[in-house]
Amino acid sequence: MNSKPSPNATAVDRRTFLKGLGTSAVVVASAQAKAAADEIDKAAGPGPQGPGAVPVTLTINGEKKDFSLEPRVTLLDALRNYGPLTGTKEVCDRATCGACSVLVDGKLIYSCTKLAIDAQGHEITTIEGLAKDGKLTPVQEAFIECDALMCGFCTPGFVLATTALLAENPKPSEEQVRHACSGNICRCGTYPHILKAALKASGQAVTETTTVMTYGVA
Amino acid sequence: MNAFQYASAHSPDEAVTLAGKNGLYLGGGIDLLNLMKDYIQTPDMLVDVKKVSIVAPDGAGHHLPATITVAEIAAHPDLKKAFPGLSEAAGEVGSPQIRNVATLAGNLLQHSRCWYYRQPDIVCLKRGGDMCHAQEGENKYHSLFTGCSCVSPVVSNLSVILTALDAQVVVKRGGKQQTMTMAELYHEAWVNPAAHHSLDPQDFLLGVTVPGKRMRSAYRQQSEKREFDWALVSCAAAGNVTGGVITDARVALGAVAPVPYVVDEANQFLEGKALTEENVSQAADIILKDAKPLEHNGYKVPLAKTLIRRTLLALNT
Amino acid sequence: MAWPNPSQYLGKPATRLDGAAKVTGAAKYSYDVQPDGWLYGMILRSKLPAAKVTKIDLTKAQAMPGVKAVILAEGEQRTVRYYGQELAAVAATTKQQCLDALRAIEVTAEPLPFVVKEDDAMQPDAPSAVGGPPEPVPPAAPGTSPPSAPPEPESPNISKANVKGAAQADVDAAMASAAVVCEAELRTPVQLHHPLETHGSTVSVSGGQVTAWASTQGIFSVRDGLAGSLGVPQSNVRVICDYMGGGFGAKFGPGVHGGLAAKLSQAAGAPVKVMLTRFDQGLAVGNRPSSIQKIKFAAGADGKLIAADVENHGSPGISGGGKSAGGGGGATINTPYPIYKFPIFCAKQYGVVMNTGPSSAFRAPGHPPASYGTESMIDELAVKLGMDPLEFRLLNDTDPIRQREYAAGREKFGWNAKYKKPGTSPGPVKTGIGCAGATWGGGGRGTQAEAQINPDGTVEVRCGTQDLGTGSRTVVAIVAGEAFGIEPHQITVRIGDTNLPYSGGSGGSSTSASVSPAVWDACQKALAQLQLQSGVADARGANWSGACQKLGTTPLSAHGEWQEGYSSGGAGGVNFAEVEVDTETGYVRVKKIVSANDCGLIVNPLTTTSQINGGILCGMGYALYEERIMDRHTGMLLNTSFDSYKITGMSDCPEIEVILIDMPERGVIGIGEPAVIPSAGAIANAVANAIGVRVHNLPITPAKVLAALGKVPNMPNV
């Protein structure tokens, strides 16, 4: 590492940091450790910002957008009311339901519980950023085909949760899909069809579980 | 939320300085930001500590920095091998979205989930008011044991398993680094109704060191829902098992007391005993003997007994 | 029925027209709409459950940054009767500015006595929740009142009885001579709708014109409500609801919040969006009333039902909620559940008023609690007689369609192989099965629609109905596609706007039955005109574009109305549930549900299945997780978000198999509500079958299972 130690930072050495976890662990560093290491290279950042509005630059769906926001504005609020990108939904605003889910550097998070000012310097992906040039992704197509949506308010969150899952685990089991979507709630009852859509999008077989019968047959 | 300033720290000392008298540290923010939305916490400064560089202490053991995320703990193959219970406990924290950002420190230091504490229009005992509303009120999720008049229980999954593993907590306090046990980390909550743990706002939790002494560990919890739900009761057990006989046993219960609940007598009872149904049941009885159920939480006693038995028996495998 | 049979598109699975809009985030809901210059609006709510308010000081709030309007909800001097009742409202440029301003409003109020628990409210010395006599429960239908009335209720909060059926003495006599009698008290909690999109609307009042983007099940109900409260002509009010995030019965009329949004808009001179927070959502916009059911059923040794004596105390909160409800928001329930015919019965129902938010219609109002109570006791009778509970039902529920459903469902479910006597499953983790049936009205009328055919062959169908996630937008397209012989996805459907032809609110499972005949009529008329003008005898299908070209430059449109002969009422179904109960932790896992349902002609089996899945999962939440919890000492709501008000999650979702009994001869009926009715009863019966003892109140939590098993010394069996 060719770091110029910043005057404010103590020296960090990734190896000693994760001492004791075994040799293989040295390679698998905490993401935080990497961030810490990278930060040392930068000069000490700006001092405290706010409480009034300050410039905030967010990279959303590959595009840099400039905002003027108070530190207390959440990423969700910034997206919806300043973006305006309303695909990400506000439902509970308390990190309990997943409708506000976005990807930050590919990781699924609740945007209601992330300060916009803290989301700078990361790649934010919202529901609007999945389809490219109007072409729906396999997950989006599968949701439509399997009717994994009803009122649709939870749908952006579930599409992102499923997308994040398949990026990490291209052939998940049903149990893994449930686990990956356990942070998202639906009130209309789309869960069975979301399970089907996730399996279908990953190219796995799906069983039909609806039977239409006529009345007359004994 | 109230209006506040935001700053980013690169070292623990910088974080402490920036936080000053009325600032708080921002890790994942899952607990803090949502408390702030209800004006239960109103810091005038948030110091982002995600980029704080933390030097691992010397000495044996596995050092987990305060800023490691719960997802990283759950997924880490070496941690899973060394401490299966830690991996299990981390995997049950919240949801994927929460685990991706929640930090070890944030999880350990999170505030009570008691609905009286969190009701913005009630100022309960823990928030400086006159009375604990849960004692005679809706207390189905509350404590069986307490040393003071607050009956809200600790809910951090990681606190329970780290207690069973006898982890040491490294804290920067008043410019100096010190080490404390998990019991010391939480003791204040046992005796002081206003406390969630023993740290002052200015203390900086640097990390946790988990000794490699206990080769076996397990964590079990029971919630009302299958996932993404607070534990009604949780249990962690750790020790060494050879030929079905346990030594160095430590058992801790979560969600039954303001602290991870440990009864040394039970650990001593288990020393050198075979992990049989009879022995684990007896250990459970010892742990639960001083339980004082409230009106609606008596079910936690048989539930805790089941979890203690199952968690201990899981050490056999 | 007059629908074509065989059909080309009716009855075939079709993906939703709005699927792409929803999966890309393009769909704009009321929460998303942002007209130029729009402001955020938020409501100040009472922090006391009952109080005499003497002063509401708005001056500090009015002076705060970004604030454009601050208004009172009603006058300044008033009485509030529940925690969360609306006091004032603020409009400001940002949400945070609203929140800051709300905190600056100073309320002076004198607390009054209150009750927020049914048991407290029913005590003889309870304070009066309304400070006066309660609203009476509606009287029994004429000709059904019994010769002897029940005694006067003792508490000031209990209404006079609503009594149906035979005289008590006659029922008692029938019971006395019956072979088996089962008696128990069963309770269901208040259930909160909690649609993912909260209640709310964006309203713009400008120059005598009102535009409201409302999250609603009834755009015309919002229009008429706003016109009335603002004193403007209905034709000056336009309500738009292109997409909405769930209603489940509570979203009719503008609501107090809609009225406040309009008044804020008037005061601020800009559009104002008032969307409730999740916290507010649990307080004041409706709920399913609770029930305390004392049930006594009797049967003969042959398994035939003989008599029923039921008494219910239900709480609709501070009022019946009738004004804000679509179809029955009061506390009366359909007990004994009407799929079982008792030769003699008596049902006495009381309303219990409390200082909590008013109830409203919630998916099949009155049915899920009644079904749970009745189906639980039906199982008890069967068990007491040593009979298989399914056989007992087949003996007593003679409806031929449900008999068909039980037969089809039992086979798919494997009932015969799975059934064991209660509590006989080996080991600590016990399996059990249960079933329950449902009946519902549905049906509908009154809708109008327009179909426009363009020379380029494109079609637009316009109807002022709503799509709550039910798939009604796609139903319109399927009906039109059938009429014209073109793919449903080629139809442009416009709904959710009061500028479009009238359709009633989407409640009572009436939408498909109201809308389909009207759309069919409009399309048939348009088709006839097209054939006349183009000279093409049959313009459908392959001939379509050729015929349309002949229109030249003039599109044609035709107006249609609901007609007889395309729809009817009477839907229903049965649910089978299999559970696993860990008797050492009390945890219940629902492993499998088989649900057989009928709703006449099934327009779209894909979206119909989704509705049934939704009903099952909502009923499962009612059975196992959901309960609004009020604090008796402060009168406040305690479980204010989804971590403490628990609804069924992805990981809880069981394996579900759905059987649809397609009956095109009965026309289009509607399925939204029957789907939820039998879910909790089937699950509760499965749990009792597994552990051999019954939990008598919902939700069936691990705590209650352990108590029922005698494992909790200070919690007697519940």
pLDDT of residue C50: 97
Please provide the average confidence, as pLDDT, over all residues in chain B. Answer: 97
**In which band, very low, low, confident or very high, does the pLDDT at A215 lie, cut at 50, 70 and 90?**
confident
Is residue C651 within 8 angstroms of chain B, CB to CB? yes
pLDDT of residue C602: 96
CA atoms within 13 A on the CB side of B11: 15
pTM (2 d.p.) = 0.95
Please check whether the two domains, B62-110+165-210 and B216-314, share a CATH topology: no
Three-state DSSP class for C97? Answer: helix
Angstroms from B184 CA to nearest CA on chain C:
29
Q: Which residues of A touch B51 (CB under 8 A)?
A: 32, 35-36, 39
Of B113, B133, B295, the CB nearest to C631: B133
Is residue B78 within 8 angstroms of chain A, CB to CB? yes
Is residue A194 within 8 angstroms of chain C, CB to CB? yes
Is residue B127 within 8 angstroms of chain C, CB to CB? no
Nearest residue of C to residue A139 by CA position? C23
Query: Across the strands, what pairs with A156?
Result: none
Return the domain boundaries, chain B.
1-53, 62-110+165-210, 216-314
Query: Across the strands, what pairs with C504?
Result: none
**In which band, very low, low, confident or very high, does the pLDDT at B125 lie, cut at 50, 70 and 90?**
very high
Indicate the CATH number for domain B62-110+165-210: 3.30.465.10
pLDDT of residue C102: 98
Question: Tens digits of per-residue pLDDT, A63-119?
Answer: 999 999 999 999 999 999 998 999 999 999 999 999 999 999 999 999 999 999 999
Full DSSP string of C572-605: EEEEEEEEEEETTT--EEEEEEEEEEE-BS-S-H
Chains contacting chain A through 3 or more C-beta pairs under 8 A: B, C
Cβ within 8 Å of C, A 71-100: 72-73, 77, 80-81, 84-94, 96-97, 99
Nearest residue of A to residue B91 by CA position? A179
Question: Tens digits of per-residue pLDDT, C514-541?
Answer: 999 999 999 999 999 999 999 999 999 9
Ranked by mean pLDDT, which of A27-36, A137-146, A205-214 comes out on top? A137-146
Asked if the Cβ–Cβ distance from C19 to A143 is below 8 Å, we say yes
Nearest residue of A to residue B102 by CA position? A109
Of B113, B225, B298, the CB nearest to C649: B225
Query: In this model, does residue A216 exceed pLDDT 90?
Result: no
In angstroms, the Cα distances linking A163 to A137, B94, B181, C23, C495 are 9, 20, 41, 12, 31
Distance in angstroms (rounded) separating the CA atoms of residues B169 and C447: 69
Query: Across the strands, what pairs with A110?
Result: A101
Mean pLDDT of B152-175: 97
Asked if the Cβ–Cβ distance from C642 to A185 is below 8 Å, we say yes
Asked if the Cβ–Cβ distance from C643 to B119 is below 8 Å, we say no
Question: Which domains are delineated in chain A?
Answer: 14-44 (no CATH), 54-129 (3.10.20.30), 138-201 (1.10.150.120)
Chains contacting chain B through 3 or more C-beta pairs under 8 A: A, C
pLDDT of residue A47: 87
Of A6, A20, A32, the CB nearest to B63: A20
Q: Percent of chain C at pLDDT above 70?
A: 95
Q: Are B312 and B214 in contact (CB under 8 A)?
A: no
CA atoms within 13 A on the CB side of A162: 31
Q: Give, as one character, the DSSP assignment of residue C153.
A: P
Q: Which residues of A touch B96 (CB under 8 A)?
A: 108, 161, 164, 179-180, 182-183
Please provide the average confidence, as pLDDT, over all residues in chain C. Answer: 94
**In which band, very low, low, confident or very high, does the pLDDT at C267 lie, cut at 50, 70 and 90?**
very high
Q: Which residues of B touch C712 (CB under 8 A)?
A: 298-299, 301-302
User: Position C247: which residue type?
Assistant: G
Distant-in-sequence, close-in-space partners of C551: CB < 8 Å, separation ≥ 6: C453, C454, C455, C530, C533, C534
Is residue C631 within 8 angstroms of chain B, CB to CB? yes
pLDDT of residue C324: 24
Query: In this model, does residue A43 exceed pLDDT 90?
Result: no
Name the CATH architecture for the domain at B1-53. 2-Layer Sandwich (3.30)
Query: In this model, does residue B58 exceed pLDDT 80?
Result: yes
Alpha-helix runs per DSSP H in C250-312: 255-268, 278-281
Distance in angstroms (rounded) separating the CA atoms of residues C700 and C582: 13
**In which band, very low, low, confident or very high, does the pLDDT at A45 lie, cut at 50, 70 and 90?**
low
User: Position C654: which residue type?
Assistant: P
pLDDT of residue A13: 35
Question: Which domains are delineated in chain C?
Answer: 19-27+444-561 (3.30.365.10), 33-113+199-275 (3.90.1170.50), 156-178+290-393 (3.30.365.10), 399-443+568-708 (3.30.365.10)
Q: Pick the closest to residue A154 from A122, A108, A185, A195 (CA basis).
A: A185
Please provide the average confidence, as pLDDT, over all residues in chain A. Answer: 85
Q: Pick the closest to residue A75 from A109, A107, A46 (CA basis).
A: A109
Distance in angstroms (rounded) separating the CA atoms of residues C87 and C89: 7
**In which band, very low, low, confident or very high, does the pLDDT at C159 lie, cut at 50, 70 and 90?**
confident
Distance in angstroms (rounded) separating the CA atoms of residues B111 and B34: 11
Burial of A15 (0-12, 13-18, 19+ CB in 10 A): exposed
Query: In this model, does residue C415 exceed pLDDT 90?
Result: yes
For C428, other C-beta atoms within 10 Å of its C-beta total 11
Three-state DSSP class for C326? Answer: coil
Angstroms from B12 CA to nearest CA on chain C:
31
Residue C446's region, left for phi above 0, alpha for psi from -120 to 50, else beta, is left
**In which band, very low, low, confident or very high, does the pLDDT at A41 lie, cut at 50, 70 and 90?**
very low
Is the link from the previous residue into C699 a cis peptide, with omega within 30 of 0? yes
Of B28, B50, B228, the CB nearest to A35: B50
Question: Tens digits of per-residue pLDDT, C14-52?
Answer: 999 999 999 999 999 999 999 999 999 999 999 999 999
pLDDT of residue A23: 35
Q: Are C464 and C497 in contact (CB under 8 A)?
A: yes
Angstroms from B234 CA to nearest CA on chain C:
12
Asked if the Cβ–Cβ distance from A8 to B227 is below 8 Å, we say no
Q: Pick the closest to residue B70 from C644, A14, A32, A158 (CA basis).
A: A32
Q: Which residues of A touch B79 (CB under 8 A)?
A: 21
Q: Pick the closest to residue C607 from C461, C503, C467 (CA basis).
A: C467
pLDDT of residue C3: 96
Distance in angstroms (rounded) separating the CA atoms of residues A195 and A186: 13
> Which helix (H) or strand (E) covers residue C140, if one does?
none
Cβ within 8 Å of B, C 574-593: 584-587, 589
Angstroms from A10 CA to nearest CA on chain C:
38
Q: Are A89 and A157 in contact (CB under 8 A)?
A: yes
Indicate the CATH number for domain B216-314: 3.30.390.50
Angstroms from A4 CA to nearest CA on chain C:
41
Q: Which residues of C touch B295 (CB under 8 A)?
A: 714
pLDDT of residue A15: 35
**In which band, very low, low, confident or very high, does the pLDDT at C132 lie, cut at 50, 70 and 90?**
low
Mean pLDDT of C611-633: 98
**In which band, very low, low, confident or very high, does the pLDDT at C714 lie, cut at 50, 70 and 90?**
confident
CA dihedral A173, A179, A181, A186 (to 10 degrees): 110
Asked if the Cβ–Cβ distance from B10 to A8 is below 8 Å, we say yes
Is the link from the previous residue into A51 a cis peptide, with omega within 30 of 0? yes
Of C638, C649, C701, the CB nearest to B115: C638
pLDDT of residue A26: 33
Question: Tens digits of per-residue pLDDT, B228-243?
Answer: 999 999 999 999 999 9
Mutate to test the interface with A, among C32, C196, C251, C679 (most CBs of A within 10 A): C196
pLDDT of residue C130: 85
Query: In this model, does residue B104 exceed pLDDT 60?
Result: yes
Question: Tens digits of per-residue pLDDT, C568-586?
Answer: 999 999 999 999 999 999 9
Q: Are C676 and C619 in contact (CB under 8 A)?
A: yes
Is residue A92 within 8 angstroms of chain B, CB to CB? no
pLDDT of residue B317: 80
Task: Note the Cα A149 to chain centre separation in Å.
Answer: 19
Q: Are C486 and C414 in contact (CB under 8 A)?
A: no
Distance in angstroms (rounded) separating the CA atoms of residues C505 and C513: 12
